[in-house]
């Protein structure tokens, strides 16, 4: 069976007829993809509006000015500390301009990062070899190959099939329907490393179709019948799914690489990540749908038609195809090697390369699919640049200077390491209110916050992983805090006030779950 699913990406995403932009909060959902439950019950889509005139090329003037001004002010107006070299201070100014541009977006992320890299070489702040050194990093290539796996899930229709099976099994009530969708996301998340792609490519089309078939319409009072609850439940639970597996979100891998640059190395990192996250993340996945059900209850409590609709959709999809079986077998092999490969000398990136090679040999993916996965190549460029600059800042002593300065402040308050841990984790989490990207937040602040933890004598592995888990949990804080938040908000089922309220309440709930169950579990594991 040939699939009609096109591109999956995590920068600009086009999946079926759902279009999202992770850097924006505007999302257009035009219609359900073919085969969604109750697509026949969906009202006929209105004619698409005429496309807006193409924007003029080049950088946006105001974001460009602010980004450049920040770096220039640090370089020429802020006094350089005596213990910091001129080279390190100049690199810091370039790095801050780069980070500001990643947040304000005067140019697309990859283009702006390339400009930052060009300046470091042109000004001889770094040599060409040093500036481009991170492009050979294994973790970055693991991220790139993971995007190709995500494309395979959507191209074959396997992700859609898995989610539909859970709707069929658990969807007789609204709460059961939510659990079916949430659990199915947790199941496919380790092989589909983009929460945004999962939201736009698999779950939002299903949620929208089920909601419309129940008379729950977007941007309408009827939204609260079903759609509002399913959207918020899925969004909030997805944060825990992304935290459960190392390969469930691209920023997870970036966190570990940045930690390595500071000197914190985690052995067998795929299995270690899962083991440490398992108890609090699974508890969060199980608790979230019920708590949202109580806090933000749907008007429709029972959905007896949902299993029948899912069964009809599965019937229309036909039996599992050869390519789907190949995708299942390949991912089982890849996940097994991620877990056990270290014992036989197979690294995580080599396991991913083996999996991708199998998919290419079997024709599940072709090389054109890989070439068209523009977000993978874009990620390769800007992640590598960001990691390279951060690594050089560490080598030149900037990170140690920042961490020692903050450590002095913390010691002046006579904080114990558990208290410092709580203050730093909460600060790292809630500062995300000013960020519109998880990866930009991680790139800007992860290294500095980890260094602060180490300077405050917080155990290294616990600090590294806790910050990384937080980078997933704050993705559902606001409607602009992540690509998946933008996708779900753009569907039109939840108002802005409810988004902020539920985001904050769920953040507190997650803090309790991870702070209590997580702390106890980490004590048993010997992390502190």
114 neighbors 405 (Cβ within 8 angstroms): no
d(CA 494, CA 483): 16
256 neighbors 385 (Cβ within 8 angstroms): no
d(CA 382, CA 115): 10
Quick one: tokens of 457? Answer: 């004598």
Give all strands of the β-sheet with 18-21 in edge-to-edge order: 12-15, 18-21, 28-29
Dihedral of alpha carbons 192, 194, 195, 199, sign:
negative
d(CA 213, CA 305): 9
The Cα-based distances of 472 to 181, 383, 439 in angstroms read 19, 17, 10
Residue 430 phi/psi, 5-degree rounding, is -80, -15
pLDDT for the residue 436: 66
Helix or strand run (H / E) with residue 167: helix 158-170
Residue 191 phi/psi, 5-degree rounding, is -105, 0
pLDDT for the residue 56: 54
d(CA 343, CA 422): 35
Q: Is 399 exposed, middle or buried (0-12, 13-18, 19+ CB in 10 A)?
A: buried
Cα 7 from chain centre: 18
Contact partners, residue 331, CB within 8 Å, separation at least 6: 149, 191, 355
Kindly give the residue spans of alpha helices, DSSP state H, lying in 199-268. Answer: 204-213, 227-244, 250-262
198 neighbors 484 (Cβ within 8 angstroms): yes
The Cα-based distances of 443 to 3, 220, 375 in angstroms read 36, 39, 17
d(CA 102, CA 510): 28
- Residues 94-114: b if buried by 16+ CB within 10 A, e if exposed: bbbbbbbbbbbbbbebbebbb
Q: Cα–Cα–Cα angle for 265, 433, 514, nearest 5°?
A: 50
d(CA 96, CA 102): 10
Going by C-alpha positions, the residue among 332, 349, 322 that lies closest to residue 146 is 349
d(CA 455, CA 186): 35
What counts of helices (H) and strands (E) characterise the chain? 25, 3
pLDDT for the residue 421: 94
Q: What is the mean pLDDT of each run of 10 residues along the chain (528 residues)?
A: 38 35 35 38 44 63 94 93 90 89 84 93 92 81 79 84 87 92 91 78 83 89 94 95 91 89 86 96 96 94 88 92 94 83 80 93 95 84 80 80 77 86 93 78 86 91 96 90 84 89 94 94 96
Going by C-alpha positions, the residue among 297, 213, 205, 282 that lies closest to residue 243 is 282
Residue 28 phi/psi, 5-degree rounding, is -115, 120
């Amino acid at each position: 069976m040939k699939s009609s699913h096109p591109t999956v990406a995590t920068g600009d995403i086009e999946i079926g007829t759902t279009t999202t932009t992770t850097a924006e909060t505007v999302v257009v959902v035009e219609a359900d993809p073919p085969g969604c439950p109750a697509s026949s019950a969906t009202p006929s889509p209105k004619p698409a509006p005429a496309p807006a005139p193409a924007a003029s090329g080049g950088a946006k003037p105001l974001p460009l000015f602010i980004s450049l001004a920040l770096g220039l002010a640090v370089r020429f107006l802020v006094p350089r500390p005596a213990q910091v070299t001129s080279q390190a201070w100049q690199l810091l100014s370039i790095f801050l301009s780069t980070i500001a541009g990643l947040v304000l977006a005067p140019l697309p992320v990859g283009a702006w990062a390339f400009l930052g890299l060009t300046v470091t070489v042109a000004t001889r702040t770094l040599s060409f070899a040093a500036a481009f050194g991170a492009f050979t990093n294994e973790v970055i290539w693991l991220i790139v190959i993971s995007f190709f796996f995500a494309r395979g899930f959507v191209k074959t229709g396997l992700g859609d099939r898995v989610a539909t099976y859970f709707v069929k099994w658990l969807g007789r009530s609204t709460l059961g329907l939510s659990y079916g969708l949430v659990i199915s996301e947790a199941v496919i998340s380790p092989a589909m490393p983009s929460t945004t792609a999962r939201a736009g490519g698999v779950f939002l089309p299903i949620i929208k179709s089920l909601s419309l078939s129940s008379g729950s319409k977007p941007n309408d009072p009827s939204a609260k019948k079903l759609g509002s609850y399913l959207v918020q439940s899925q969004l909030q639970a997805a944060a825990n799914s992304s935290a459960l597996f190392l390969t469930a979100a691209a920023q997870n891998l970036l966190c570990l690489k940045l930690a390595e640059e500071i000197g914190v190395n985690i052995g067998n990192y795929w299995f270690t990540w899962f083991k440490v996250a398992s108890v609090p993340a699974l508890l969060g996945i199980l608790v979230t749908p019920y708590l949202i059900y109580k806090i933000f209850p749907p008007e429709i409590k029972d959905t007896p038609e949902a299993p029948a609709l899912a069964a009809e959709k599965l019937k229309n999809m036909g039996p599992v195809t050869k390519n789907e079986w190949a995708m299942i077998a390949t991912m089982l092999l890849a996940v097994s090697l991620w877990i056990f490969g270290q014992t036989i000398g197979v690294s995580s990136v080599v396991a991913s390369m083996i999996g991708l090679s199998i998919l290419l040999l079997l024709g599940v993916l072709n090389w054109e699919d890989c070439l068209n996965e523009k977000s993978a190549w874009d990620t390769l460029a800007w992640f590598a640049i960001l990691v390279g600059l951060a690594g050089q800042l560490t080598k030149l002593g900037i990170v140690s200077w920042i961490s020692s300065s903050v450590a002095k402040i913390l010691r002046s308050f006579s904080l114990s390491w558990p208290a410092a841990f709580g203050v730093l984790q909460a600060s790292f989490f809630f500062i995300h209110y000013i960020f519109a990207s998880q990866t930009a937040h991680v790139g800007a602040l992860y290294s500095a916050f980890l260094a602060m933890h180490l300077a405050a004598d917080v155990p290294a592995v616990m600090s590294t992983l806790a910050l990384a888990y937080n980078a997933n949990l704050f993705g559902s804080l606001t409607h602009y805090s992540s690509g998946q938040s933008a996708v779900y908000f753009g569907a039109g089922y939840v108002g802005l006030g409810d988004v902020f309220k539920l985001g904050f309440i769920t953040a507190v709930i997650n803090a309790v779950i991870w702070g209590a169950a997580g702390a106890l579990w980490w004590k048993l594991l010997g992390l502190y």
